[in-house]
Structure 1
Amino acid sequence: MLLRATLALAALCLWAAPALAQTAGGTQIQNRASATYSDGTSSYSVVSNTVTVTVANVSGLAITPDVGSVPNVVAGQSNVDFTFTVTNTGNYATQVRFLASGASVQLSGPATVQKAVIDVNNNGIDAGDTDILANASDVLSSSIAHNATLTVIVRVNVNAGASAGSTINVKLGDAATGGPTFDNQTANNSANEVRTSVPSGTTAPVNGESEARGDASTTVDNDAQLRLNLNAPAGPVALGSNITYTWSLDNTGARSASSQTLTNAPAGSNTGVFVIVPVPARTTFVSVTPPAGVTVLYSTSPLSSNPVTAATWTTTAPSPLSNTVRVAFNVGASLASGASATNMQFVVSVNTGINATNPIYEIGDAFGKNTVAASLTDQSGDLVVNKGDGNADFNEPRSGVDPLSATQGFQLPTTLTQAGNVLIGPSGAPAAVGPTDNNDDYTNKSVAPAAIAGLSHLDTLGAAASVDFTNTVQNTGNADDTFTLTAPTVPAGFTVAISTNGGTSFTTVSGGGSTTLAVAFGSSANIIVRVTAPAGSAVLQSGGFSTAIRATSGISNTQKNDTLDNLYTGFLKLVKSFTVINGTTFGAATDPVPGADIEYTVTYSNVSTGGGGAGCVNLVASSIVISEDGTAVPNNWAATTTQITSPAPSDSNGGTITDGTTNGAVTAATTWLKDAAGTLNPGVSKAFVFRRRIN
């Protein structure tokens, strides 16, 4: 009967444990009844025997919070504490068991557990606490009175790469039933439990050991997020003119951005949230206009120097301004969440004499720190926050040209006004000027000697003959250009072809054809022009056959230049004439009678054109030797005439006339005269004159 009463009381206590104040285990409950009665005369009293009930031990355990929370965190934050209260809800003093190797602590989300302890002295984590994370075996707490508590602190570090919106959850214990509190559950030796453990010498609880579970979560916020924006004009912008860049800096994160320190900047200006912009290549710094509250610093340190730790900064603009390499805007000690610093203007001048093919590129870097004192940087050119390499130079990809970088922004382009221009002229002399201007400069060349051997000015070519001319095309515009090559003037019946690859292949341009030639800014390139004269072309034609070769800019098709390639079918013309001088008494004064003299005149002319300036290619006849051999077929005058020595043979060009046989002086016996006439420039005619007397 006593055993049944004891068990019934234990069951009642177990059921009521969460809600009622519990009688301590081992408490003896005694009960003795008394009664009075009468026999009609006397009154009597009586007592019963005393019965004793001893209260059984009943275990119970609660862990709070349940579905609790701690303040939001940011990526990279350390020492985030999750605090749990463990309460002995049983009716006797017991210990709490934490499993070996921190198994009683469960973490999910982008974080790691740094420490887990029983806070023995309730003053936070310190050296006196009991470690339940690195414990090689189970840890038992000290004995806890019923309704007493102990504190457990789980400290975590948030991963640096934790994404905003991520949840970090810590569970202490793993009771799976009894929700929503998951307290006072029968322990089942599960893998991550926290449970009671009856102390040595203490009667075991009638309901076995109890376990519980608590959990708390936090959410990862966006920390400070810097986004640097650049308004760069699209262009085109003329060389020598200004480009105005406008910068703004936004903090799109949930926390304020704090200050960064420039190592080598003046005190008072060296700390803040900075926008640092380099002066673009091929430009010169002009001015900067900061908005109210923003201060400006200048650096002449090379772009290779780290802008934060190595570059030297001043608050005074360099002299001259052209020495400026970087400019820094200090937007203030912090930049609040959702705030922006706007309208920071930066003006540069585009240098003259540069290649306008390539745009001017600009990019900037923002610098600050977040709430965990980690450095922040962002580069302009894209919309991604906190993305940059922090070097404030130009090693980043170019927008529209290079692929996206995972760690950098984009350089933004401003195109330049391109002006095409061109010169074409003789080989190596594209700027040559002809008799009039640089559209009639020329190259004079003759067909091969074999093509005209034995022919006079009265003859024509027996077969087609070609001459290759080398012309030089110079890009005098301000950008890379592709020039169209044509032949607007071609002699009738002639064929003109152009090679732009050194003679490997030719494109016919006579008859309206064309070809193209790409020439880089400031460069020149040679072409080969092959002019073919058809059979039947006149030999030794005065002025030759002129072909105009034209180069036209692809950038500005109104810009063009011509050069003349003049083909000659020989260029030294000999014209023989005679005059009879009859001093005899026979016949008229000009009758060729025996004893009369025949005066032969050989007029030799350079039929090529001249008059051009430096660079034009002339045909100068040199080492001229005129031969008059009276014995060479078809000549027969040696046998029928005698040389007159007075007047002596003469040459208006000052040539030396000798006896062709003896190389000595001309005598009456001379039958072969040689005139070493020397040199004859274009367009010049001279005469060789000698007399013979008819035998």
Structure 2
Amino acid sequence: MTPAGTAINNTATGTYVDPNTGETFNTTSNTVTATVAEVAGVAAVPSGIIDVNGGSVTTNDQLLFTFLVTNVGNEVSALHIPSTVTPVGANLGSAQVLNGVTLTAGVYVTEINGVILARPVILPANGNTNDATFINAINNAAGGNYTALNGGTPFNGSINANSGIKVIVPATVTATVAGNPVSVTLGDTGANNNNAGTQNQPDSGLEPPTLGGTDPISAASEIYTINFAGAPPANGVRESSAFQTVPLATQINSLALATILKTRIAYNANSAATFTDDTLTYRLDLRVESAAPTGSTGIVPAPLLGTSIRVDGASPVTKVLISDAIPTNTTIDLTALPPATVTINGVVWTRVYTAQPVATGPLAATQDWLTTAPTAGTTRIGYIADGPLAPGYTTALDPNGFRIQVVTTGLTAVSSAVTIANVAQVFGQSTAGSISPTNPLVYDESGDQNPNNFENGSPSIPPITTTNTSPSGVADPNTDGTDSNNGGNNNQGTGPGGEDNVFTINPPGSILNGPQGQAGAIGPNGTNQTDFANKSAPIAAGLKTGDPVNPAAVTFTNTVQNPSSNTSQLDNVTLEPISATLAAAATGTAIANYDLSNLPLTNAPLPEGTTVLIAYGNRAALYTLTSGEFVLTSSSPATVSVSGTTVTITPGANETTPAPIIIPTVAIGQSLDYYVQVDLPGGAAGAVVTKGYSVPIVAYVNSNTTDGSTFKTTGTQLGQDNPFNIEINRVYTGYLDLVKLSRVLQGTGPALSVPADGTFSNTSKTPAPGNIIEYLLSYTNISTPASGSGNVVLNANNIVITEDGAVAPNNWATTTLNVPSTARVDQDGTQPTPNTVPTYNAVITFFTGATATTTTDPTVTRYLDSIPTLTPGQTGYFKFQRQVK
């Protein structure tokens, strides 16, 4: 056992990449991760009844009662599942053939540990998953073919934690009286009515069963856990049961549930003053849900079948259709489309087009989809595939999904904001045959997370029973509503039907100043006075939030432009930094409502002594923040060298009289790059301050000779020159923030000596041997989120977070053991029971020293949490548990 008083230290480290520059940054936490003691657990739930011939349940119908039995413990376990049951109102077995296997009397396994078997495998007579004959049948190529389907790793009789077995109980209906039950009970626990008393109960022989009158321990009629290896679980053997019933002459509500998602993944203004070359790129994704919508009743998820459409003028074919009407004021960019045929998750999708008027619905009798793009006038684009698509099918994990790019058109002169609105559709069916009142269309619109246009557990629009009533899919934000959460681009809208993805193109000013190549960038508040470029200083490994640091200077490349809509050249264009107060005053509410006047609430206050060096041509001007205002302190000749994304400014000898950077003339339509270097003073900040340092840079025509050459206030009045345009250069001292917390769980040790130790915090804990320390690490991209257009945001790419218990100051590798199967990235620690939070495709890998191992290995000494991308504002979590030796 670990000696009393031993300090168990835990610090996480990480690296990440700025995709804008390719630079790699370091980040360090305080403390956080997770672990739990081995306990057994089993849950059994009904997962639907399939009537093989459809319609109502009648005498002699063949039914398939499906169940999911899950290992809800935290370690692998074998399970016992009854190999025979006695249905009510039916006989066990059928003549149904599934993947070459006739489902005669018995209980059949169709999926284990997430692996869908090639063929159903009947449970052995003893009902044990660790039975040698059963294991062989599961792995055998002529049986379940598990080994090949699982990448060469065979089934060994155990069920992984949080995984399970899907089983089918085939039955042939014998009931003859309408309304009489046809039912199956799998297992024998408590009242066998699916209530809490039937789930994960101790197999103690004490709970009142309904089948046998007494409760024998580990009876053949029960579902129970079997210890697979090592010492028995601390809570012994657990049991569960599940029950399903359907009255005779009742139709089962098997419903395909389709969710279509639409995300705008890119916008490019191209020429800022030209309004017919802006491009917007969208990604479409489809989910076929495997669970009924929250709040719904009586729905059993079914495969998504195709519906009737015409393709290339031929007779109607049956296809699942994804449709997207080209937004008003845009045309499809055919040159930017990916391959016309893509395979996603085993399903072949073919792109289709139509030039029919958008008022002609996607399923209208006169609609004709084409596999070859029209030479002009495309009004819709879509993708088609053969059904059925099984519940659980998704394109969301594919790197690309379905991508569509459009180009603005007809906007020859924008004097006010122009809205580009778009909504996607998906069409299919639950049951083959013509659309009718008894076989309505499966239909969903993008903008939310609900399938089939459900809202609060029920359909939000009337059933579509004829193709003539299928919606056109033409976006109208005034009637559709918008996907308004977080800028309207994450499918989090609410309300009937779908919600439009809306993007606004704003008019530029008479002088434009923005990030490199994006002088007309639009900021978070919809104006070009709040656009920004974000960048981080490099931070040495080992520095954490609050540690003093003297960050290296950060250099930005900006662009100033005389828009082609102007009628004359711009003279004496001056570039200089201004204070947050002056920036807010100059633009009224434009910046005040954004962030600069709210210091230090949303930005770190710029420390006294911050310097800003602006370079253009062969000169540079240096400003120093003094008493909250930037003061021109020197100017000099300078050389600028650019290598890739690295810019080096080398000032020469100081000029006798400091002078700002003034560009004598900017011709109509001309764009010019200049450079800004921000240098925070030593000790100004920690490695991560969770806020950015904002420096407003103004470009203005210096026409006000009474206030000299600076853009400033005169007395109490603002004396700025016009026209002007502000861009914000924002510096971060690292932008991936790691925060670690811990708590103590009892595990197999004694009760907690300090009750507060059971709550997540960053305070010291006092665990005893056998107790479990659960660590929780949050990782947050604290930079300014994407908004507007043309801004430079800081995605954190190629994140690798290292939890290494063998590298000082950590010592938890030698003082604790990994609690199997508890490392996870889908919990944030705020809920008493497991909750789901976004994982951002994080992948955990496990090592003992330098040797790769698995989550079930108690000797794990190092965890790597790899996250492809974390965008600004996103937070991920990594939990793991360690049991004190």
Whether TM-score is above 0.5 comes out as no
Q: Larger Rg: 1 or 2?
A: 1
Between 1 and 2, higher relative CO (CA 8 Å, sep ≥ 6) is seen in 2
TM-score normalised to the size of structure 1?
0.38
TM-score normalised to the size of structure 2?
0.30
